[in-house]
Amino acid sequence: MKIVDCDILVVGSGGAALRAAIAAKEAAPELSVLVATKGKPGLSGVTANSCSDRMAFHATLPSTEPGGEAAWTYHADDIYRIGGKVSDKNLADVLAKNAATAFDYLDRLGVPFVKKNGLPDQFVTDGSEYARACYTGPRTAVHIEQALVKHFHNLNIPVLEYAMAVRLVHDNGKLAGVVAVDTREKEPEKAFFCIRTPAVILATGGGGMIYRHNVFPGGMTGDGFAMAYEAGAELVNMEFVQIGIASTKTKFNCSGSMMRAVPRLVNSEGEEFLAKYFPPGTTPAEIANTVFKKGASWPVSYEHKTHIIDIALYKEWRAGRRTFLDFGRNPQGFSFDWLTAENQARYRREMTRDLGGSLRNQTPLERLREINQPSIDWFAEYGIQLEKGDLIEVAACAQHFQGGVKIDASARTTAPFVWAAGETAGGQHGANRPGGNALLDCQVFGRIAGEDAATQIRALRGHDQHPLDPSDATAQLTAAAGAMRQDLERSAENALPAPEFRQALQELTEAGVGIVRTETGIREALQKLEVLKSRNFILGEKSPFYYYENRSLLLTAEAVLRAALLREESRGPHLRFAHYEDNIPMDRKEVIWEKYIVVRRENAGMHLEIREPALK
C-alpha cells in the first residue's frame, strides 16, 4: 500500500485550507507541508465557487468606524450578540482582533478590494453596528481563492489532488496519520493509501450536501465533521445551518439588492403566494417592505421577521410547487411610494444610476439596474436573461454550517494533534453571524491553525521527538486501511444503490431540519435515518470515495437532527414550530437556552451534552 509522508497535512483546498498551508510553511519553512484535496485548488470547494450580489469580507480596520484601538471590541461584541450568545466569546475576540491583519495580508496578495480615496469601501451587514464589510463585488470569495492559490504555488507546497482523507488514526493519544482513497479509482484494493503525519489540519468545508437544496459545490459532504467525530473530537452548534433564498440553477445567493429591487415572488401555478403566509390583514405595502428588508436579513433568522418569506418558499416546495423571482413584472399594485422612508433612503444610497421615478416604478428589473447592474450581467453569463423576461427559480437553500468541530483559540480540536479551520470548525460563530464573517473566519483561523501546528511540530523536532514512531504509525495505518477495505467490500442484504441512498438521506434531512422544524418532523426523520443505516448501500458503478462521502453525510445529518431535536426553542436559523401548519415559530428562550449543544462519540453511539459557552 502506498504511504506518503509529511510533517503537516492540510485536508481541503478552499480559503481556510490554503491559508493554513501557507501559514504553516511561512512559519516553519523547514517542515514539509502537504495539501490533500478531493478536487483541485482554485477550482473545488466553497471559496472558489461562491457568488452573491455583493459578497463581504467582514473586518475592523484602522479606517473603520468608530475608530480607535478598541474598535475591534465592538466587532467582537457584534459577533457574540448576533450569534445569539451561543458561541465562545473568546473565539469572537480572536476573530475581531485579527481581522485587520487578515485583510492586510489579502490586500498585499493583490485581492482587488473596492477602495475609495485609497481606503477600503465598507458597508453595514446583518445587524452590525458599524460598516465593516469589504468587498470586490459578487466574486469576493473567488478573488480571495485566486490570490491564495497563486501564493500557495509560489511557495511550492505540494498537493495530492483527487485524494479524499477518510479516517484519522491515533494510537494511545498520538497521531499516526490518515487513511485516504483515490477518488478516481474504482477498485477498492487500489483505491486506498495512507498519509503518515504527526499533524492534521481539517479544512474540508461544511456538509451542505445533506440537503437536496443547497448552494454548496459538489464534494461538501461533511468529511471533516465525520473524521473528527470518529477520532473522538467534539462537534458543537450542529443544529445551526444557515439557509437562504438562492437560485437553484446557478446557486447564486439572492440577497441584498436582489430583494431590495422588490421582485414578484410566484409559484409554478403563477400565483403570487406570499400573502397567504402573512397574518390576516397584512397590506400589500407591508409585504413589499418585508421583501425589501429581506435583502439585509439573508439567510433565514428567527431574529428577523422576514423569516416569513423563507417559511413561505419552503412550504411551497414541500407542497410540490416550484418558486420563482420575477423581475419582469411588479408585485400586484406595487408602487415605489409603498416603501417606508427608511427603505427608500437605503435604496437611494445604493443607486449607481438614476433612471427616474417612472422607470423605477415600472419593473423590478429597472430597479435592479439602478442599484446592481452587475447582478443582471452575472445571471446573463449563466443563461438567465432577466432582460428577456427569464424568471429565477429559487428555493430555501442550505448555505453555511455555523457549527462544526469544536476548536479553542489556537484552532485545536479535542482530538490530539488535530486542528480545524473554516466551515469545518465550530464555536466561533453562534446561531447567526455578521455577513462576511465566514470569509474572515477562514483567513483568521486558517492562519492560526497553520502557525500553531508548525510551532508544535517544530518543537517536537527540536527535542528529537516524534508523536509516534514511524514504524508504529505505518502498522496502525495499514491495519486501519485493511479493516476499512473489508468493510467496503462487505455487501449488505436489502441494500440501496448509493445514489438512491444519498437522495433518500437528503429528502429526510430537508423534511426534518429544513426551514420548518417540529418535534414530530425531526423524530420522523430520525426514524427514517435509522432505517437507512440498517439498509446500507451498494456502490455499483460508483467509486469507493462515494461510499465514504455517504457515510460522512449520514453522520452529519444525524448530528444536525439530534441537536435540533434537543433545542426546544427558536434561535438563528433554527426555527422550531409546535405544528407544521403554524407560520409563527416558537419563542427564543433567552437565558435558559444561551447554551450550546456538544456532540461526541461515546460507546459507539452519539452523545449530546448542553454546555455554557466559554467567555474567556
pLDDT digits (tens, 9 = 90+) for 336-369: 999 999 999 999 999 999 999 999 999 999 999 9
Predicted confidence band of residue 464 (pLDDT cuts 50, 70, 90)? low
pLDDT digits (tens, 9 = 90+) for 376-428: 999 999 999 999 999 999 999 999 999 999 999 999 999 999 999 999 999 99
pLDDT digits (tens, 9 = 90+) for 201-251: 999 999 999 999 999 998 999 999 999 999 999 999 999 999 999 999 999
Neighbours of 173 (CB within 10 A): 11
Domain stops at, among 345, 365, 398: 398
Q: How far apart are CA 221 and CA 209, in angstroms?
A: 5
Quote the number of domains for the chain: 2
Neighbours of 354 (CB within 10 A): 10
Task: Please report whether residue 340 resides in a domain.
Answer: yes
Q: What is the mean pLDDT of residues 555-573?
A: 99
Q: What is the mean pLDDT of residues 145-172?
A: 97
pLDDT the model gives residue 492: 59
Task: Please report whether residue 393 resides in a domain.
Answer: yes
**Together in a domain, 258 and 380:** yes
**Together in a domain, 381 and 518:** no
**Together in a domain, 366 and 512:** no
Task: Please report whether residue 207 resides in a domain.
Answer: no
**Together in a domain, 374 and 509:** no
Q: Is the model's pLDDT at 127 over the cut of 80?
A: no
Cα–Cα distance list, 473 to 166, 186, 196, 482 (Å) = 16, 26, 7, 14
Task: Please report whether residue 21 resides in a domain.
Answer: no
The secondary structure of the chain in percent helix, strand, coil, rounded to multiples of 5, reads 40, 20, 40
Q: Check which CATH number belongs to the domain holding 515 and give it.
A: 1.20.58.100
Domain stops at, among 349, 377, 398: 398
**Together in a domain, 392 and 272:** yes
Q: How far apart are CA 412 and CA 417, in angstroms?
A: 8
> Residue 442 contacts by C-beta under 8 Å, 6 or more apart in sequence?
14, 15, 16, 19, 47, 203, 421, 422, 423
Task: Please report whether residue 535 resides in a domain.
Answer: yes
3-state SS string for 261-273: CCCEEEECCCCEC
Residue the block writes with cell 511540530: 457
**Together in a domain, 248 and 394:** yes
Task: Please report whether residue 205 resides in a domain.
Answer: no
Task: Please report whether residue 496 resides in a domain.
Answer: yes
Domain stops at, among 398, 425, 440: 398
Predicted confidence band of residue 479 (pLDDT cuts 50, 70, 90)? very high
Residue the block writes with cell 439557509: 243
Kindly provide the residue ranges of all beta strands, DSSP E only, lying in 172-267, ordered along the sequence.
Answer: 174-182, 192-196, 200-202, 235-236, 241-247, 264-267
Q: Residue 573 is part of which domain span? A: 492-596+607-611
Q: How far apart are CA 427 and CA 91, in angstroms?
A: 7
